[in-house]
Structure 1
Amino acid sequence: MTATVYDVAVVGAGPAGLAAAGAAAERGATVVCVDGNDQPGGQFWRHPDEQARPAYDGAGHHGWKTYLRLRRRFEAGRTSGQITYLPGRHVWMLQADGGPAGGGSAGDGFVLRTNAAHDVGARPEAATVRARRLVLCTGGHDRQLPVPGWDLPGVMAAGGIQGYLKTNGTLPGTSMVIAGTGPFLLPVAATVAEAGGTVRAVCESTNLTGWLPRLGTAVRVPSKGLEGAEYVAALVRHRIPYRLRTAVIAILGTDRVEAVRTARLDAAGQPLPGTERTIEGVDTVGLGWGFTPQLELPVSLGAATTTDADGSLICTVDGRQESSVPGLYLAGEITGVGGAVLAVAEGEIAGAAAGGRAGQGRRREDRTVRTHRAFARAMHEAHPVPAGWQEWLEDDTIVCRCEEVTAGEITGARDDLGAADARSMKSMTRAGMGWCQGRMCGFAAACLAVGGVADEASLRSVAKRPVAHPITLAEVAALGEPPTIDEPDARLRAAALDYQLPPDPQPPHA
């Protein structure tokens, strides 16, 4: 059986993916959208199950009208047969397509190997998708820095707390501390408070003076200022302490989180003696040090990378969002974390280029990319990771939670065995060899390996994962001859089409 060859494959159905799929389909391309979630929206527009709450109004979401506009266009493409949607599937491997055996150049197209994201233990189903051009919109996840006690139950990524609430409508705890750096801490705290939870403190590691020389850039994106003012008002309304130049340096508890120890930081990010204080009665801690793009798929194809202003590894693209690999387009956080508005604009450009009409109607999107990319750079520079964070660690602080590798083992391998990069560290200590394959600890382990800021080569070695998601041997064996890919489940399609979208408040392309 021969698999369908699509004009464009889009991976991810968040802000960038929805925009890319719709833009490509409107230009006459046949599009397949593969998404690990069960419904469109991605992490930013994550919302309750549409079958359970078909009239959900998007309460608490920013840019919900944009989502509805993109979703209507997406569903119109599905109804016309222009877009095929494959939800609940992870792309675990990418290949350049050189024919049935693969192994050709990227100019021949791409082969996507996918597997079911859920129902582990059920009959394995492996599927192969082929496309002439590929748009990756895989997003990112919270960057984490280890701290003593962060492996206790009750410690979550800041974004994980928000995602939990958006999906389930409930909070994972009742008394929380949100800590790290960046504007994202504000909406997490505000969301928790509005949902009835208690936020004992928001600990921001910077003092915000880094914004002063960048105010000219900030005022060019007034929507960000208005959004921030909303969150600040929520913090004031709920009397949430907002502590600048403060970090959680230890999380305390026996079987789960019970308290946190905070400290004021000096200019080098070192805790100031005598400023430590303990906040008791805490059952949940949300940690967030910015976001890290998910790059395993583009790196596996050899896409060029660089480091962003925040030290994260990102992929480079041209003005059409095309990577160094011909036919491979990238949009959203994968090219640098910058928010949903930027992701949508990049998705529109990438989808149009992949769909065959790169220059049509792009002036507004180009302007949005320039202004929001500049704002993102200013944000990263104003909210840096504290230079002295490694000094907070104790020898027995776990860095790699999957393999239970401690900070002492990593620094010992660095100092005594010469493990001066993430790849060597992985070989000598197993840091990054577990279930998450370094997604949580990779940045920290790479920095510890060099005793400072990790370089591009070290971070790229962390991102190299030939198998991008865990799979079973049965799924590999089930590959066999590539099947034809059709809509996978009629019930999912029916549920999406029955989803009650409110009337469009503006023209489709406003």
Structure 2
Amino acid sequence: MSDDRRVVIVGAGPAGVRAAQTLVAAGVRPIVIDENARWGGQIYRQPPAYGGFQRSKKTLYGFEARKADALHTTMAALLPHIDYRPDTLAWACEADRLDTLQAGREISVPFSHLIIASGATDRVLPMPGWTLPGVYTLGAAQVALKAQGCAIGRRVVLAGTGPLLYLVAYQYVKAGAQVVAVLDTSPLSQQLAAVPRLARVPSTFAKGLYYVGWLKAHRIRIERGVKLVGIRGAQNVEAIEWRASQNDSVTETISCDAVGISFGLRPETQLADLAGCRFRFDALNRCWLPEFDAAGRSSVRGLYLAGDGAGIAGADAAELAGRRAALALLDDLAIPHPRGPGMRDAASLERSLQRIAVFRAGIETAFAPPAQCAAQWPDDMTVCRCEEVDAGTLRRCIRGGEANEINRLKALTRVGMGRCQGRMCGEAALLLLAEETGRPLEAVGRLRSQPPVKPIPLSPAMYADNVAEIPVEARDE
């Protein structure tokens, strides 16, 4: 790879793999940095190569087994033509360099062109008891099932909102786990109102209906429009408390030993932020997203965005966006687009992405997180578990007039300064700040990212024999 063509892809999920495939077909050898041990991302996560258990792709991925197999097979064929770096964390990004951690060592990776396909994580909204052992995100519940061959508990309640709620419930019951209830905070009327837009992608809509119908046929309790009161337990989860929308004065209790919670997904935008991308507030996703054009070009020259890391759109859209970003990169390098089986032109990719965008708008409408939930949080409830900051501490700081912007609140209370760097508590702090100041979410600021975006060890091994910058050519050899 020549000095002026140092192409790097962060992420080996659907977007990253399809971007790599497109580049390789055009004669470009990219570096693909993957935090996981095996490619596939979260949606098509593979079990460990030597995990000690065997599960078929049909069992792991259900209706998506063919798509998962196609992606896995494609990446396997690409390995001789790319510089693939698994188990590698990209923890910081500058204008022309990524800082990564691989095998306990810090390695600086220079680039001329970068595709960020960083994916998404669960949107977490706290509730009393959410820090008890036995409480997981839905994403973590999937990791346990796909990568470790186990469930998160013996009696599991899945709570929150979003299509992932029903998918995980279906996957758990199919695997033999006991799901005692699915508690959805979104009312049925809200979900029905979104049907016209959801019907724009009938195959995906039909799968969602199937999951719900299958769960009901197997007598899994589903409650919609609920208000989650809290999770009870002394040392571990013992029960979850909730109220029905039609009878808000009565609190119901369900006995369980594990709870999976999520309120949809939120993009992982930290690397784009550190690289200097401009951001805009997206009212539909209720979060700040990096700006990019239809081709995936960001506001930073040579930096492209694809997949859920640029805005939640799902695995199918991620594959399309990965291809589209790679085509844009090839245009900027004046390299002809590849032709052949599986290769689509830019206009066709953009049309498909626009159609999926209408569907995704329906999803966000159908499963919007509960509004004004921050007003119900008790003062002694932990908001930032890393720094042990509770809601009362945040309220006192805001009501005292010391902070009316999120980064000021962070500086004064340390909310979002811990190991998760605000990835778990940042949205909760924003919601509380907006509630207390009576302003819309976009008016209270955007939590600025700081490196490292995820925890890294501070040990002598990290620096032993470290090279400040390893040329791409040397890595390729």
Residue in 1 aligned with 2:72? 71
| 1:348 aligned onto 2:333 | no
> Does structure 2 retain, via aligned residues, the 8 Å contact 1:149–1:251?
yes
SS in 1 for 2:129: coil
CA deviations 1:197-225 (Å, max 9, x no partner) are 22221111121323444433221101122
Identity %: 32
Residue in 1 aligned with 2:341? none
**Aligned CA distance change for structure 1 residues 250 and 3 (closer, same or farther; 3 Å):** farther
> Does structure 2 retain, via aligned residues, the 8 Å contact 1:201–1:240?
yes
- 1:90 Cα shift? 0.7
> Does structure 2 retain, via aligned residues, the 8 Å contact 1:22–1:70?
no
| AA partner of residue 481 (structure 1) | A
- 1:302 Cα shift? 1.6
> Does structure 2 retain, via aligned residues, the 8 Å contact 1:263–1:277?
yes
Taking the aligned partners of 1:354 and 1:489, their CA distance within structure 2 comes to 20
Taking the aligned partners of 1:165 and 1:355, their CA distance within structure 2 comes to 38
Question: Which of residues 364, 370, 389 is equivalent to 1:380?
Answer: 364
Taking the aligned partners of 2:465 and 2:91, their CA distance within structure 1 comes to 14
**Aligned CA distance change for structure 1 residues 93 and 458 (closer, same or farther; 3 Å):** farther
Question: Which of residues 100, 105, 108 is equivalent to 1:114?
Answer: 100
- 1:420 Cα shift? 1.4
> Does structure 2 retain, via aligned residues, the 8 Å contact 1:139–1:293?
yes
- 1:57 Cα shift? 2.8
**Aligned CA distance change for structure 1 residues 168 and 4 (closer, same or farther; 3 Å):** farther
Taking the aligned partners of 2:128 and 2:89, their CA distance within structure 1 comes to 33
Residue in 2 aligned with 1:325? 300
Taking the aligned partners of 2:398 and 2:377, their CA distance within structure 1 comes to 15
Supply the RMSD in Å over aligned alpha carbons: 2.6
**Aligned CA distance change for structure 1 residues 69 and 170 (closer, same or farther; 3 Å):** same
| AA partner of residue 20 (structure 1) | A
Residue correspondences, number: 461
Residue in 2 aligned with 1:284? 258
**Aligned CA distance change for structure 1 residues 29 and 380 (closer, same or farther; 3 Å):** same
In the alignment, structure 1 segments of 5+ residues that lack a partner are: 97-109, 119-123, 267-271, 491-510
CA deviations 1:92-128 (Å, max 9, x no partner) are 11122xxxxxxxxxxxxx2111102x6xxxxx42212
| AA partner of residue 469 (structure 1) | K
Question: Which of residues 186, 196, 200 is equivalent to 2:180?
Answer: 200
**Aligned CA distance change for structure 1 residues 151 and 127 (closer, same or farther; 3 Å):** same
Taking the aligned partners of 1:432 and 1:477, their CA distance within structure 2 comes to 30
Question: Which of residues 257, 263, 268 is equivalent to 1:294?
Answer: 268
> Does structure 2 retain, via aligned residues, the 8 Å contact 1:349–1:358?
no
CA deviations 1:380-426 (Å, max 9, x no partner) are 12222211311331111000011111111111111014311221111
Taking the aligned partners of 1:405 and 1:142, their CA distance within structure 2 comes to 20
CA deviations 1:453-480 (Å, max 9, x no partner) are 76447553x2411332333454368654
Residue in 2 aligned with 1:466? 451
| 1:447 aligned onto 2:447 | no
| 1:415 aligned onto 2:399 | yes
- 1:21 Cα shift? 1.1
| 1:434 aligned onto 2:433 | no
| AA partner of residue 175 (structure 1) | R
1:40-439 to structure 2, matched below 5 A, reads: 40-52=39-51, 56-61=56-61, 62-79=63-80, 82-96=81-95, 110-116=96-102, 124-265=104-245, 273-280=248-255, 282-308=256-282, 309-356=284-331, 357=336, 361-439=345-423
**Aligned CA distance change for structure 1 residues 459 and 36 (closer, same or farther; 3 Å):** farther
| AA partner of residue 231 (structure 2) | I
> Does structure 1 retain, via aligned residues, the 8 Å contact 2:296–2:306?
yes
SS in 1 for 2:234: coil
| 1:16 aligned onto 2:3 | no
In the alignment, structure 2 segments of 5+ residues that lack a partner are: 339-343
- 1:83 Cα shift? 1.0
What stretches of structure 1 move > 6 A for 4+ residues in a row? 2-5, 486-490
CA deviations 1:344-401 (Å, max 9, x no partner) are 1101101222233569623432222111111111211222221131133111100001
